[in-house]
Amino acid sequence: MLKADGEETRIVGGSVRDALLGRVGSDIDLATTLLPEDVMRLATAASLRAVPTGIEHGTVTILFDGRTFEVTTLREDVETDGRHALVKFGRDFARDAERRDFTINALSLSADGAFHDTTGGEADLRGGRVRFIGDAATRVREDALRILRFFRFHARYGIGAPDEDGLRATTDAGEALDGLSRERVRSEFLKLLDTPGVIEAVIEMRRAGLLSRIIQGKGYLDRLKRAVSGTNRTSPLKPVARLATLAVDSDADTERLRSSLRLSNEEHACLQAYAAARRAIGRLPVIAASDTLRLVATQDLESLRLAIAVMDDHQKNQIDAEARSVLQQFLDGTQPVPVFPLSGSDLVTAGIPPGRSVGQGLAESHALWLERGCTSGEEERALLLNHAVTIARSKA
């Protein structure tokens, strides 16, 4: 579709990099000498949907066969301020490559299969080096988000210590992180937490004084290590769960992170559940088998699993052998989590008018249920309902 006399389009960036490593990337980006309006015209002529997602920067998104492809006109930087860049359209693929961040992201592939590497990216990729193109300090000044990208890409593709020039440039420019939008920082940092080399990356960031700028507080690196290295998981640990182990110890931490990283409601709830699980465990000097029932009945199970996984050796001694066995059954799913058998509608049906007294009756009955070991059955339910109704009537 993009073929036109005197014009050229190449596959660029991450998909070429990943192909060299034998990986299949999810996104395929293209760079072209065609102007954005020409890309739109050619797509329309081919009966394809084209969306001008970033047309002021030269980017058109084309939908084809259920997938999206970003097509961007070659560009040259005119002016940068660390957050935004003023660009002009160009026709030189080598110059377009020079404005990218790392050599391993400046690779391209022509439609005829010809491979292009004008910055030494393939050698760096094979050697596990994440290296800025040209002067590292200049690249970072152009966009401060590259500070985080440097550590993220090293954590995914790097071998050994980070590139010295890159590390010096990112460390020196640490204050520039404060000028970035919190949404951009959040997105990039969560991606970093999802990399294979996250521990080494976070260690380097803490040494450079960058970690505290991002999480606005103390980092619990040992907990993150235990969370990442922990086995006995049926699914990969989500980035926000890794953030919880690294940066959360109390409810105050969850509120600070919500603000400093502009977390979504769902992400904030995950941090809150983890903080609650830590608090519930911390209240118990020793965790006996009877305590495990109350813990799993009142805490989010995945958050409880995570809080237990990051315990240090001293804390693990809080859990006796029987309690550990019972708890594992719940975590494995071989034992169903106990569920409080009453709801507000049960009290209303029993004659309690809707209002605060219903909630107070339920709360008192729930406390009794926990005290009695979260038992079930019709007799237990009848006892709990009678207790709730009695309390509710006394509060009415």
* Tens digits of residue pLDDT in 119-138: 999 999 999 999 999 999 99
pLDDT digits (tens, 9 = 90+) for 138-195: 999 999 999 999 999 999 999 999 999 999 999 999 999 999 999 999 999 999 999 9
Encoding tokens for residue 392? 């509710």
Q: Pick out the chain residues at pLDDT < 70.
A: 77-87, 231-235
E strands along the chain, which residues? 9-12, 28-32, 49-54, 59-64, 67-73, 75-80, 85-89, 108-110, 115-116
In the predicted model, what is the mean pLDDT of the chain?
91
Task: Give the pTM.
Answer: 0.86
Q: Are 84 and 179 in contact (CB under 8 A)?
A: no
Q: DSSP readout, 20-88?
A: HTT---S-EEEEESS-HHHHHHHHHHTT-EEEEEEGGGTEEEEEETTEEEEEEE-EEEEEE-BS-EEEE
pLDDT at 79: 59
Phi, psi of 77 (to 5 degrees): -75, 135
Percent of the chain with pLDDT over 70: 96
